[in-house]
Structure 1
Amino acid sequence: MLVLEYKVKAKPNQYKAIDEAIRTVQFVRNKSIRYWMDAPKDTKINRFALNRYSTELRNEFPFVKDLNSMAVQAAAERGWLAISQFYDNCKSKKAGKKGFPRFQKDNRSVEYKTTGWALHKSKRRITITDKKGIGELKLLGKWDIHSYPVKSIKRVRLVRRADGYYCQFAVDVECIDIQPPTGQAVGLDVGIESFYTDSNGHKEPNPKFLRKAETDIKRVQRQIYKKQKGSSGRRRARAKYSRKHLRVSRQRNEHASRLARNVCRSNDLVAYEDLRVANLLKNHCLAKSVADASWYQFRQWIEHFATKFGRLAVAVSPQYTSQQCSQCFRVVKKSLSTRTHVCSCGLILHRDTNAAINILLKATTGGHPGSNAKGVGASTLLGATLVEQVLTMNLESPSLDSRRVSIADSK
């Protein structure tokens, strides 16, 4: 699935109509969750039951009926998504809170399926055909939506952001661009001192976008509280504050995608740590720095480009990657403040470089293979022995054994 995004240019009354459609979607989603909460215990509520309930809402509320019927169904499906995730967390016995569905108060998008919209012949304008009064919208952008057949567009989403409104097209096409093999493999150790350190010793600087923009963000934030509540000045100050955070978010995303693309194009095998970033964010001393580094976003882009380029991305267990010597495999205890790995075997390396080499060794020697772009989704498969996990890796990538031999020879 490929997502193409355009900036929307429209009149003020059309923007208000989009906002009304977004509020209607939030209303339907929240009503669906309330319907699930209030249902008797012996009544089974599933996605189809919520779709039927959305039809009842259209008959009961005129403003819901003005929205396209498939858009109303998509809103009910958002409620079911929150419910199903809660069920999945309970079944898997996830530690801590299970994510009980909550009512939404900050919805920012409305999604249409295959009806409720019509593209202009030029493919540079789109008309929303329901009764909300949105009408024809001008699309600004460089994406070539005209190169795809209209039938391949499965979703059209209108999104409100701090700097305006956007239109997204979800196109059902395979995003594959198989690259020739390079014969290279790399292990990545993410960190705060450097964004990542690879097994070749390269250190990518940490851009620290939030830290650099923090002074300006705090200054803009103080302006909000100097304005009277409910005033237009306060509303403009909040919009300016939101744009500051939006810029940081876009910088992180662009930085992560660019690095992930380069890494996947240059290596046949990319190994990285299977970190639980949500748990790391519980450390209040490091939470801001960890969030600013956007490690999970970097991992998502690596898995995406590995699939696109036909590479192998392997997530390995992070245990002892920093403590174990990459040459003699002896465990050398060290605190976080110790940045140099010094072993009795004579190996002296930077701590992160040693960890990156260990990560690559784990991926290539069947240590603890984890999720990759081909489909295994846990760092340690439940109910599977270590031998079974290695066999699963071999089935997913028959060429992995040959890569292990070549990498071992190069060592």
Structure 2
Amino acid sequence: SRPLPQGAEPTTVTVSRDAAGRWFVSLLVEETVTPAPATTNAVGVDAGITSLVTLSTGEKIANPRQERRDRARLARAQRELSRKAKGSANRAKARLKVARVHARIADRRRDFLHKLSTRLVRENQTVVIEDLTVRNLLKNGKLARAISDASWTELRSMLEYKCAWYGRELVVIDRFFPSSKLCGACGTIAAKMPLNVREWTCDCGTLHDRDVNAARNILAAGLAASACGDGVRPQRESSRTGRSSVKQEPQRATAGIPRL
């Protein structure tokens, strides 16, 4: 897909085929990535479903919903597959059609996430995100399909290695930080914030867009944690051994959040 770096010799060549029958040749080479020019910009990123991400600048990037766009085509291909006799050649052909639809969805999703993550890394010196527990969120039967289609975990993975490549800082704030319920103007924390509430007014009179307010709170918390230089999660008591344990993570990918 692109020329090898000048003077680079492949150390490993891997030939593979995916479920859709496509062949790939992967070349492993040593390459030095040039860090991006330094900038003073910083951005907080709030992940969502209607808007895939909302930035602390107020910009909302719509969720392309790649799986929903091809849902009818996928359902039709799966119905055709279910009608074929097991072990038959026609079933193998129908299975290949289903795999191709899945590959089309995955390719579009990956392409969109690559473009989004590259843009965020190039434009900002510091990127702050939340430590979402996607596995637990998928237990919500009504939103599981939409959450899987959003692929927040893959976006975070891309941000992690691209920040490392280009000399950026990725700060991940604690998952229990009340970014949506916290008023960015006065610091008051709302008692409840159901998912259907997209705008809310604080007791101080400030009208908040839920996602924009959350992104700005994420940025503020991330910058505060980054300034403290905390690269280790707080100690927690182990429920099995009774001994404290510390989870070590890279400085660029983890930061503790002070209690409010």
TM over 0.5, yes or no? yes
Bigger Rg, which one: 1
- Which sections of structure 2, spanning at least 5 residues, go unmatched? 237-246, 253-260
Structure 1 position 226, deviation (Å) = 2.1
**Contact map agreement 1:158 1:168 (CA 8 A) in 2:** yes
Q: Which string of whole-angstrom CA distances, capped at 9 and with x for unpartnered residues, describes residues 272-299 of structure 1?
A: 0011111211222211110100101111
The answer to whether 1:338 aligns with 2:197 is: yes
The one-letter amino acid of 2:225's match is: G
- Matched ranges for 1:210-359 at <5 A: 210-319=67-176, 320-332=178-190, 333-359=192-218
**Residues of 1 paired with 2:86 and 2:213: CA distance?**
54
- Which sections of structure 1, spanning at least 5 residues, go unmatched? 1-141, 384-388, 397-411
- Structure 1 ranges of 4+ moved more than 6 A: 367-371
The one-letter amino acid of 2:44's match is: G
Q: What TM-score, normalized by structure 2, do the two folds share?
A: 0.84
Q: Secondary structure at the match of 2:120?
A: helix
**Residues of 1 paired with 2:121 and 2:5: CA distance?**
29
Q: Secondary structure at the match of 1:168?
A: strand
Q: What TM-score, normalized by structure 1, do the two folds share?
A: 0.54
The one-letter amino acid of 1:335's match is: P
Aligned to 2:29: 171
Q: Secondary structure at the match of 2:213?
A: helix
**Contact map agreement 1:325 1:331 (CA 8 A) in 2:** yes
Q: Which string of whole-angstrom CA distances, capped at 9 and with x for unpartnered residues, describes residues 130-160 of structure 1?
A: xxxxxxxxxxxx321373432xx33322211
**Residues of 1 paired with 2:175 and 2:207: CA distance?**
21
Change over 3 Å in CA distance of 1:227–1:368 after alignment to 2: farther
Aligned mate of 2:4, from 145, 155, 159: 145
The one-letter amino acid of 1:306's match is: C
How many residue pairs get aligned? The number is 240
**Residues of 1 paired with 2:98 and 2:161: CA distance?**
31
Aligned to 1:209: 66
Change over 3 Å in CA distance of 1:172–1:286 after alignment to 2: same
Q: Per chain length, whose mean CA-contact separation is higher, i.e. which structure has more relative contact order (CA < 8 Å, sep 6+)? A: 2
Percent identity, aligned pairs only, is: 32
The one-letter amino acid of 1:349's match is: H
The one-letter amino acid of 1:334's match is: M
Q: Secondary structure at the match of 1:179?
A: coil
**Residues of 1 paired with 2:229 and 2:73: CA distance?**
40
The one-letter amino acid of 2:82's match is: Y
Structure 1 position 369, deviation (Å) = 8.5
**Residues of 1 paired with 2:149 and 2:128: CA distance?**
22
**Contact map agreement 1:362 1:368 (CA 8 A) in 2:** no
**Residues of 1 paired with 2:68 and 2:86: CA distance?**
29
Q: Which string of whole-angstrom CA distances, capped at 9 and with x for unpartnered residues, describes residues 284-339 of structure 1?
A: 22111101001011111111221122111111113211111111110013211111
**Residues of 2 paired with 1:146 and 1:273: CA distance?**
35
**Contact map agreement 1:339 1:350 (CA 8 A) in 2:** yes
Structure 1 position 368, deviation (Å) = 11
**Contact map agreement 2:184 2:217 (CA 8 A) in 1:** yes
**Residues of 2 paired with 1:280 and 1:357: CA distance?**
23
The one-letter amino acid of 2:194's match is: S
**Residues of 1 paired with 2:75 and 2:92: CA distance?**
17
Higher helix share: 1
**Contact map agreement 1:264 1:270 (CA 8 A) in 2:** yes
Aligned to 1:66: none
**Contact map agreement 2:11 2:29 (CA 8 A) in 1:** yes
Q: Secondary structure at the match of 2:225?
A: coil
**Contact map agreement 1:317 1:368 (CA 8 A) in 2:** no
Change over 3 Å in CA distance of 1:382–1:156 after alignment to 2: farther
**Residues of 1 paired with 2:196 and 2:150: CA distance?**
19
The one-letter amino acid of 2:111's match is: E
